[in-house]
Amino acid sequence: MEVVTNKMAGDVSRPRPVYINDLGLYCILGGDKVQVFDALKNGKRGTFTTYDVAGVQRPAATIDPAMLAPVPEKKFDNRVNRLSQAALVGLEKTIQKAVEKYGANRVGVFIGSCDNGSEASMAALKCFKETGAFPDGYVLDYQRADFPAQFIAERFGITGMLSVHSTACASSASAFVSARNNLYAGNCDVAIVGGVDIASLSVILGFASLEAMSDKPTNPFSANRSGLTLGDAAVYFVVTREPDADLCAVDCKNLKVIGFGESADADHITAPRADGEGAYQAMKAALEDAGLNATQIGYVNLHGTGTELNDAMESRAIHRIFADDIGAANADVPVSSTKALTGHTLGAAGSLELAFCCLTLQSGRESGVNENCSCKKDFILPAHLFDGVVDPNLPLLHLVKVGETAQNLKYCMSNSFAFGGCNVSLIVENGSV
């Protein structure tokens, strides 16, 4: 089947970057960006919880409910929105400034999410089965696809467009593509874009039924890999189509997303295309959109789920674009999968891992200054945590070791490859390098 790519509608003869003004996140590694990056660079896994699924113990990177404050607006108070609320704490002032400056109707909300209230629905059905009635306060709104976006809009008084994407593991990366298109179409001036998802019991059961979930923490790209580990996360960015000094936080200065690549191979409803063609086409489209070649990418955050099929096809795609296409023997670009640390956060994964790329691009430290005051910077890379047993059947990749750095890092790529062959690659630039 032919792989379809999206090279973006409209005038593609000029760059169409999206400027990052601020970002907030919350995952098993925490909500403080310094704390989160410390875990990334040192390969420190979050504390996983174990669930009994049909007699098999399955780990998942779920956040202790006691860590998430109730949502004051009772109609929105569920686990998904509590998680969003935790990620939005650090963005409140930036979002308020955006609404004041541009108007409530010129701010859009673009979210990737998959859960759609399944946790509340399962509890309600259990109650109905046992008592003949649904629990007090239960409403079908919990199952609406736009529910997490409505929560953000009402919380900040936003009346602009809302868009929720549910393209499985690529959902919040797809939301970024939608945000860029709508910013340049003039449908909004500011976008709150990101994703939220939880490892609810229904999701855990679903992946276990697909035999894709490991009984131990995920071990991506190892010869011993046995499946994925699920996780909770929420992450949001405030982005604009032009730099905005009024909104831009210090730790996001000079960050912009410059490459957006999508492909759809539709090879199988859940399994990826084995030869990696769809993944390759998404990365190629992102490079073309950014006006870059593969040798300019300094780090790739892999999709890296730890399943037999995903890691095999992604290895092939990475080798093809970062070795074969440029005439090299091996793909020497540093790569890592951070899902071994955070779990696979499904609809939130695309934006969470793009955020990790942003934290990486802000990690530069001076490594030497000469008499002319020119300097080089070392950037600490997110470590690839696995058992160290390389799969000899896969192309060799440059998996990042703890403490590894890249000099003068300017461009990072983040990959998200989902069910149904929905593939998205994003490229973020540090404009100060």
Say yes or no: domain 18-430 is CATH 3.60.21.10: no
Separation CA 110–CA 105 (nearest Å): 14
pLDDT at position 373 is 47
Residue with tokens 């809009």: 153
The residue ranking higher by pLDDT, 141 or 217, is 217
Instruction: Find the mean pLDDT for residues 210-214.
Output: 89
pLDDT at position 216 is 94
pLDDT at position 121 is 81
Mean predicted lDDT score pLDDT of the chain = 92
Ranges 209-213, 268-272, 320-324: which has the least confidence: 268-272
Q: What is the pLDDT of residues 17-59, one digit of tens each?
A: 999 999 999 999 999 999 999 999 999 999 999 998 888 899 9
Write the single-letter amino acid at 7.
K
pLDDT band, residue 124 (cuts 50/70/90) = confident
List the structure tokens of 368. Answer: 């030497």
SS3 219: coil
Separation CA 143–CA 384 (nearest Å): 36
Q: What HEC string does 392-412 produce?
A: CCCCCEEECCCCCEEECCCEE
pLDDT band, residue 371 (cuts 50/70/90) = very low
What does R_g of the chain's alpha carbons equal in angstroms?
21
pLDDT at position 11 is 47
Q: What is the pLDDT of residues 388-429, one digit of tens each?
A: 999 999 999 999 999 999 999 999 999 999 988 899 999 999
Do the beta carbons of residue 379 and residue 367 sit within 8 Å? no
- For residue 191, the cross-strand partners are 108, 239
List the structure tokens of 265. Answer: 């191979």
pLDDT at position 421 is 82
Q: Is 232 exposed, middle or buried (0-12, 13-18, 19+ CB in 10 A)?
A: buried
pLDDT at position 3 is 64
CA angle 347, 350, 352 (to 5 degrees): 95
Q: Which residues contact 214 (CB under 8 A, 6 or more apart)?
A: 58, 59, 225, 226, 227, 228, 229, 306
Residue 268 clears pLDDT 90, i.e. is over it = no
Backbone angles phi, psi at 190, to 5 degrees: -135, 145
Q: Which residues contact 295 (CB under 8 A, 6 or more apart)?
A: 326
Residue 4 clears pLDDT 60, i.e. is over it = no
Residue 8 clears pLDDT 50, i.e. is over it = no
List the structure tokens of 13. Answer: 């003869």
Separation CA 11–CA 13 (nearest Å): 6
Q: What is the pLDDT of residues 279-318, one digit of tens each?
A: 999 999 999 999 999 999 999 999 999 999 999 999 999 9
Residue 12 clears pLDDT 60, i.e. is over it = no
pLDDT at position 203 is 87
CA angle 220, 384, 363 (to 5 degrees): 145
Separation CA 143–CA 150 (nearest Å): 12
Residue 138 clears pLDDT 90, i.e. is over it = no
Separation CA 169–CA 228 (nearest Å): 12
pLDDT at position 92 is 97
Residue 233 clears pLDDT 80, i.e. is over it = yes
Separation CA 255–CA 109 (nearest Å): 20
List the structure tokens of 238. Answer: 């405030």
pLDDT at position 120 is 79
pLDDT band, residue 276 (cuts 50/70/90) = very high
The residue ranking higher by pLDDT, 148 or 1, is 148
pLDDT band, residue 178 (cuts 50/70/90) = very high
* Predicted TM-score of the model (pTM): 0.93
Q: Which residues contact 97 (CB under 8 A, 6 or more apart)?
A: 246, 247
pLDDT at position 433 is 80
Ranges 21-25, 164-168, 270-274, 400-404: which has the least confidence: 270-274
pLDDT band, residue 265 (cuts 50/70/90) = confident
Separation CA 241–CA 336 (nearest Å): 29
The ranges assigned to domains in the chain are 18-430
Separation CA 200–CA 232 (nearest Å): 9
The stretches of 157-305 forming alpha helices (DSSP H) are: 171-184, 201-209, 277-290
Residue 225 clears pLDDT 50, i.e. is over it = yes
